[in-house]
Amino acid sequence: MLELEITKQFRKDISKIRFSNKHYAKYILFLGYLLEENEMPVEASDHSLEGAWSEYREFHVSGDLLVIYKISEGVLYLARIGTHSQLFK
């Protein structure tokens, strides 16, 4: 099982998110997959990023809500959460 590290920016981002019960449950479920080092479900659209975020990956909680993260040396780092327009201006 991976350790979890949450960035200060992620904490700020998530405080602004208004999850529905369904989307919060999916968010927790997908984090569980990552922490247990299991393959993500297809519906999460998990993929690597390019450019300034090339060391990171993202998965979609729902529609346009996504989580940017990376896994390094046994640690899951949660970097950002928000919509495409919020994160990739």
Q: Looking at the annotation, which residues are catalytic? A: 84
In angstroms, the CA 77 to CA 72 distance is: 8
One DSSP character per residue, 24-38 reads HHHHHHHHHHHHTTP
Q: Are 68 and 34 in contact, with CB atoms under 8 Å apart?
A: no
